[in-house]
Amino acid sequence: MRHAAIIGTGQTNHTRRRDDVTQPELIREAAERALADAELKPSDIDAVIISNMEMFEGRAMPELWAAEGAFAAGKPCMKVATGGTSGTSGCIAGFHQISSGLFDVVLVIGFEKHSEGHTQTGMALVDPFWDRSVASGALGNFALSVSQYMAERGVTEEHAARVAVKARRNAANNPHAHLKMPDVTVADVMASPVLAHPIRKLDMCPQSDGAAAIVVASEDKAKKLSPRPAWVNAAITRHEQPYIGDIERRLATMRTLKDASRVVYKQLGITNPLEQFDVAEIYEPVTYAELAWYEILGFCEPGEAGRLIEEGVTAMDGTLPVNPSGGVLCANPVGATGVIRVAEAALQIHGRGEARQVDGAKTALVTGYGVYAWADVIALGAEPGGN
Amino acid sequence: MILESSIQIPFSYAAGDVGSRYLIALRDDMQLLASRCAACERVACPPRSFCTACAEKTSELVGVGPEGRLISWTDRPGRGLFGLIILDGATTAMLHRLDIPAEMLGVDLRVRARFAEERSASPGDLEGFELV
Amino acid sequence: MDKVISESTTERISVSVPMNQSWKYASGTPMERFCAGLKEKRIEALQCEQCERRYLPPRPFCGNCHKKLKKWIDVKDEGTIEAWTVLNLPMLDGRTGKPRATPYGMALIKLDGADTTLNHYLGESDPKKLKIGSRVKAVWRDELIGAMSDISYFEVLP
């Protein structure tokens, strides 16, 4: 297996509604920007991967309408549709296509136009026998798990509010973020309306229209084309059982995220992720999830997540800055969101994070999350093959 | 046991700049517009933002039709007649409904667009094609 | 015929396409037996003979052991709240295109006899009255058709 690296990224400015463009036009914006960033032409792309969920925009085969916008017509192209993990899983598929020697340059594009459909409704249309009559959507599903997690691990609404403040202030440095609130306070978050107990509006991610793309290249091409490739040093994915009720104490235990991260850590010789990664872009649809992920990813012991956020360990000037981009909390075009995490981490390694750059970042941890407990964990680095 | 389960969700899609101009021209002028690629000279109707062949952006729109040439057709029992029509001035074919007696059908038949009486800048403003 | 229009439009058109489709799904044997039981207010789970996990809904295979599930277990229509929430944000029900009236309570309920939890509605929607550990009991509809919706919601027991 040969090394793969990310040599270019591109994103739209994510926002509530892009009624000025069709889906292929939105995709084209991100794809063009990624190609320009990599200094490549459409004819340099060997294959295209598209991440998007059919039911969110209610049209069959998104990769069909998207083909021209994605430069995919006449090329190998496949779609990855795995809920929130679509973007990270799509990137992982691209990494495999490069590492295996199948292709030398792959374009991965994720997109979503939530404004055109009803996402909470679409995602509830799972097993027709069991789930549809009692579906609570992403918000309801999280709210259920949050009450259980709080009771078990002692995190408070105030801890969650601190996560929101970190994210929304970080987003002010990110030109692509949908929600930027440089002056938001814990009091603001705790005064925002309760959407689903105990999750408040400012605890929750938005629904965004947006697209994001990365260009992945083989080792030879990356060395020729990029001054500082972001090397893909590990990429692991885990799926899960079909019903929310199958997963005991979901936020506290998420075995998929735990397993995937431990495989990555073992591959790279990581024994202390908090110290050994320079930056993390993790997939946190709600503030409480970020706290749970701190524990599951081994940044701290169970029950310590509140202390981590209180002490600023994951702030921009902390030991391990988490989500300098503002994270999912500040932009969530679902099919793109996982690609955004990878792109933001790649920018950190490229040293082009601008106002949101973590100085000297050489190793980045990326996670994807979807549905109830699907998880992707990816490690990027300035050196190929390890930290 | 068989369960019948239905899905009812109201979707609504942005037509984009080129798409909006096409639909507005149908509503206001009963005019069909096509996109012309400056690089390869393909003229596509309905118009789209990127050339089908060379992926170049296409924002220049030209009038085509309302007449054209039927190049292929099929009869879907219960759903009606559908055909591929190359409108005068276009180089790609458009798939649409035909309102033509079956015995008259033939390749290269001349057909003409029929527009709805009440139009609202939606795809249904173009009802189909009939004999010239 | 040669009319070139090159200005962009400021009128942004959106095309409305309501989806209204139905599909017919085969239930398979486990779900068929489960649904037949609902008509008699009977709830049954399937237990994995290897890991002993009692699964609701019943399904053909244990996801962890990959074994076919054959052992049926009776489950009460009463259980304990393991997690709860009250939803204030209306959400369209995809089967009808209409929103469910808010606020409404939901819970993950461990029914007596099952190891998985059931995601269902609660009769209570005041967050002050809901807590983990409360006992709940199913409220069945008058007309039972053999579907999950035969349980209207769970009432919190005093």
How does pLDDT run across A230-251, given as a tens digit for each residue? 999 999 999 999 999 999 899 9
pLDDT above 70 as % of chain A: 100
Residue B75's CB is within 10 A of a number of other CB atoms, namely 12
Q: What is the rounded distance in angstroms from the CA atom of residue A211 to the CA atom of residue A332?
A: 10
φ, ψ of residue A62 in degrees (nearest 5): -55, -30
Cβ contact, residue pair A125, B55, below 8 Å: no
Query: Chain A partners of C23 at a C-beta cutoff of 8 Å?
Result: 128
Q: Which of A113-127, A166-180, C15-29, C98-112 has the lowest mean pLDDT?
A: A113-127
Of all residues in chain C, the one with the smallest CA distance to B36 is C4
Its domain, for residue B85, covers 16-131
How does pLDDT run across B37-92, given as a tens digit for each residue? 988 889 999 998 988 778 788 888 999 999 999 999 999 889 899 999 999 999 99
pLDDT at residue C4, as a whole number: 57
Residues of chain A with pLDDT under 70: 387
pLDDT at residue B53, as a whole number: 78
pTM, two decimals, is 0.94
Question: What would the mean pLDDT of C2-11 be, rounded to a whole number?
Answer: 67
Homologous superfamily of A135-206+232-381 in CATH? Thiolase/Chalcone synthase (3.40.47.10)
Instruction: Report yes or no on B96 lying in a domain.
Output: yes
Return the partners of chain B (3 or more C-beta pairs < 8 Å). A, C
Please tell me if residue C18 touches chain A, with a CB cutoff of 8 Å.
Answer: no
pLDDT at residue C149, as a whole number: 87
CA distance B9 to chain A (A): 7
Q: Are A246 and A262 within 8 A, CB to CB?
A: no
Instruction: Report yes or no on B33 lying in a domain.
Output: yes
Instruction: Report yes or no on B2 lying in a domain.
Output: no
Please tell me if residue C144 touches chain A, with a CB cutoff of 8 Å.
Answer: no
Interface ipTM: 0.89
Query: Chain A partners of B3 at a C-beta cutoff of 8 Å?
Result: 128-129
pLDDT above 90 as % of chain B: 72
Please tell me if residue B55 touches chain A, with a CB cutoff of 8 Å.
Answer: yes
Query: How many separate helices (H) and strands (E) can be counted in chain B?
Result: 1, 9
How does pLDDT run across A145-191, given as a tens digit for each residue? 999 999 999 999 999 999 999 999 999 999 999 999 999 999 999 99
Eight-state DSSP code of residue C122? E
Cβ contact, residue pair B1, C35, below 8 Å: yes
Query: Chain B partners of C20 at a C-beta cutoff of 8 Å?
Result: 6-8
Sequence spans of domains, chain C: 28-156
Sequence spans of domains, chain A: 4-119+208-225, 135-206+232-381
Query: Chain C partners of B59 at a C-beta cutoff of 8 Å?
Result: 6, 8
CA dihedral (C54, C57, C59, C62) positive or negative:
negative
pLDDT at residue C1, as a whole number: 47
- What CATH number does domain A4-119+208-225 carry, 3.10.310.30, 3.90.1170.20, 3.10.20.310, 3.40.47.10? 3.40.47.10
Task: Specify the length of chain C in residues.
Answer: 158
Cβ contact, residue pair A245, C147, below 8 Å: no
Eight-state DSSP code of residue A298? T
pLDDT at residue C8, as a whole number: 77
Please tell me if residue B89 touches chain A, with a CB cutoff of 8 Å.
Answer: no
Please tell me if residue B16 touches chain A, with a CB cutoff of 8 Å.
Answer: yes
Mean residue pLDDT across chain B: 93
Among the listed residues A269, A319, A266, the one whose alpha carbon sits nearest the alpha carbon of residue A294: A319
Mutate one of A26, A136, A195, A199 to test the C interface: name it (highest C CB count within 10 A): A136
Instruction: Report yes or no on B9 lying in a domain.
Output: no
Among the listed residues A291, A317, A266, A338, the one whose alpha carbon sits nearest the alpha carbon of residue A84: A338
